[in-house]
Homo-oligomer: A and B are copies of this chain.
């Protein structure tokens, strides 16, 4: 095996593969990254059994020049550290002996021990499933906005990830832990996939997809068997999916409200952040919102720490001027943080019904939080 390639581009491609690797895996070969060099391309593959990544560099892309085909299995971490320390624009990579790869530049040479390529499992990528195409930046934003409601350790397995579905011309991304729901809607018209395109992506996989998504361009989401693939430029990201039926949260979304508070998101966020009292013992921080006489009173207290009270009148109101409702302040803070609009709306029914946070400036996102019955 012998090829040369642009050093910085190779770092980027190895980084994609290296991030998902579980160095604590009992099988050493799984901790490696495969380099498959053929006459016309270089393919890098890595896996952690849940997620697998395959990235392909074609001849002449990234200055790739292949002199001899071959396969090796490297330790990504060491390989990356060494590539980063080099100064050369182009790096030569060769393997003559079985267990050593040589990285060389103009005046220097690294010889690195490698793993045994023959120990690496064969990984099948399901590349031909039902698929939809979305904007990378839209998808990244949507995942960040909805992942907040997912509890990775939820006992009901299907809730420990995000639900993707296509219904009524809308691509829904939904997360819920039973106490709150994050829902993102992206218009997407595809009659032949209506009601058929649905998958549940594990929490960890969502985090990795977010890291992999660039700010520009489009990506393809493809589902097949119990796998979902995301095609991003020259890279295929494949994850196993969560089994089970995701609850139909759209059906339980409240639509009629007694009170709507229109408020500047930043100001309201700071107010609730103040009510979120510091504490070490992980007690659930409850914040109480009282609306009366066109004023909001925010109160909170934690036995060991102390208490907080603030009066707030910088908002507009529609509906009943009389509410008294309590929440988990962490949930409220995390929800508020997902809105990029200047103004938001807090929609209330009464002390026992879920609140819905939304924005008329961008109606694609809704955050629901169940109240707490602290009083």
Contact = CB atoms under 8 A, between A and B. Distances in A.
A234 B369 CA distance: 49
A109 B77 contact: no
Contacts of A108: 274, 308-311
Contacts of A27: none
A162 to B, nearest CB: 31
Contact of A78 (B112, B278, B311): B278
A374 interface: no
A31 to B, nearest CB: 11
A311 B109 CA distance: 9
Interface string A70-111: 000000011001100111000000000000100000011111
Interface stretch (A168-176, A187-195, A200-208, A299-307): A299-307
A270 B105 CA distance: 14
| Copies of this chain assembled into the complex | 2
Interface in A304-356: 304-312
Contacts of A273: 85
Nearest to A303: B113
Contacts of A306: 78, 100, 110-113
Given A308-B108, A308-B109, A86 B278 contact: no
A109 B310 contact: yes
Nearest to A82: B278
Residue among A270, A274, A304 having the largest count of chain B Cβ atoms under 10 Å? A274
A113 B304 contact: yes
A85 B273 CA distance: 7
Nearest to A279: B78
A305 B274 contact: no
A109 B308 CA distance: 6
A111 B299 CA distance: 11
A87 B274 CA distance: 10
A78 B305 contact: yes
A78 B307 CA distance: 12
B278 A81 contact: yes
Interface in A283-310: 304-310
A107 B100 CA distance: 69
Contacts of A310: 107-109
Nearest to A308: B110
A229 to B, nearest CB: 32
Interface of A: 77-78, 81-82, 85-87, 100, 107-113, 270, 273-274, 277-278, 304-312
Given A78-B277, A112-B306, 18 more contacts: A78-B305, A81-B278, A82-B274, A82-B277, A85-B270, A85-B274, A100-B306, A107-B310, A107-B312, A108-B309, A108-B311, A109-B309, A109-B310, A110-B308, A111-B307, A111-B308, A113-B305, A113-B306
The 8 A-B residue pairs whose C-beta atoms are closest, nearest first, are A108-B310, A112-B306, A81-B278, A85-B274, A78-B278, A111-B306, A111-B307, A107-B311
